[in-house]
Amino acid sequence: MASNSYNPYENAQAQFDRVANIIGLDDATRSFLRQPMKEYHFTIPIKMDDGSTNVYNGYRIQHNDARGPAKGGIRFHPQETVDTIRALSMWMTWKCAVVDIPLGGGKGGIICDPRNMTDNEQERLCRGWVRKLAKDVGPLIDVPAPDVMTNSKHMLWMLDEFEQIHGGRFPGFITGKPVGMGGSLGRTEATGYGLIYTVREALKSLGMKIKGTSASIQGFGNVAQYAGRLYEELGGTVVSVCCWDNKDKKAYTFLKKNGLDIAALFKMTDSFGSIDKEQALDLGMEILPPDAWLEQDVDILMPSALENQITLENVDKISKQVLLIAEGANGPINTDADEKLRKSGMFVIPDFLANAGGVTCSYFEQVQSNANYYWEKEEVLRKLDYQMTTAYKAVEDTAKKNKLYMRDAAYVISINRVAQAVKMRGWV
């Protein structure tokens, strides 16, 4: 599991620096792009249901908006750190650029544990976060979205607070809203489906189809659930899933070598992605230690939980059978482990490409909200498939042409696009 010494912001900057050297980025642009443009740090006092008052630390960080309004999720997590949010805001800039949507990068968070809060307390927290930022976010400035342990109800509370403050209807202020209240059909599936679209294209380049392949997934939240569902529909077999158990406060791997039933797992999973162990045992699953998901003899690994999950301590546990790692999470492979995988020749689909389906569909939602005209689900998913496939092929072509690791190739495209926008605006 994650090491306490790991700093995701340093990881994000190290990835950036590597490619800045490759493309010969000038010093001024390099200095400008390797740190956020704006940071907001604040406290949110909240009246709890028992009459007491808790004070929470909240953040919004806007890395770069040269290509369009900042875009990025809001996390609720008890171990959230400002450096994590800084890193995620950087990755969002590159993510929007690699799939070529006109948005920049931002990220937000609150240090809290919603699993131990009532809905009323969570609502007050959401509204408090918006009140602190109401002048510095909006459809033309910075567009938030759900992230770890936030969902459509949180987004709607935030939208309502923003609209009450500004006295109007601004559905394009936030994405991930409920369908019927400005949300987009297909948004729930988007990140997981986008991940599988890139896996499908990568397997094509390896001369394979998804049908008949096997996979192991870390996480069973929104991304992993829908990635597993589509992967299974296309003929793949998920043999193990690792997820956090909210009761035991630890992670477990659920294994069934002849294949898990993803639909059955859906039914025994709570809103935070924890699988019911008793029901799992009844369906013949083995319950193993957390790193067991990494050790399976499968074709594909999909780390789709949190950052810093594949490290020097466990990277050697990866089976020699694994052909492909698709990063469903942000930063799941730390810099040292990534270097080892790079040297081994492992095919890695980098996070800010592999999981860009979510922000792509968020962009679609923003377009629909601003136009007050909504598309059918099939149209959303068709557009998503096209955008993700086009982006994947551009990265793969760059990698082959320049003999680059896929992560470096994705960064070359993203950094060049953002640097060009910054220079055209005359910022550096």
Would you name the residues annotated as active-site residues?
107
How many residues belong to the chain? 428
Written as six digits, the tokens of 306 are 């949190």
Fill in the DSSP letter of residue 281. Answer: H
Give residue for tokens 């496939």: 389
Written as six digits, the tokens of 152 are 């459509």
Query: CB pairs under 8 A, 24+ apart, for 126-131?
Result: 126/154, 126/157, 126/158, 126/161, 127/157, 127/158, 127/160, 127/161, 128/44, 128/45, 128/46, 128/56, 128/58, 129/44, 129/58, 129/74, 129/158, 130/158, 130/161, 130/162, 130/165, 131/161, 131/165
Map residue 232 onto helix, strand or coil.
helix
Beta-carbon contacts of 96 under 8 Å, excluding residues fewer than 6 positions away, are: 67, 68, 71, 102, 103, 104, 105, 356, 359, 363
Query: What ranges in 48-118 are assigned the alpha helix state H?
Result: 82-98
CA distance 374 to 161: 23
Going 89 to 13 to 346 to 221, the CA torsion angle's sign is: negative
Query: Is 187 in contact with 362 (CB distance < 8 Å)?
Result: yes
Beta-carbon contacts of 287 under 8 Å, excluding residues fewer than 6 positions away, are: 252, 253, 254, 255, 277, 280, 281
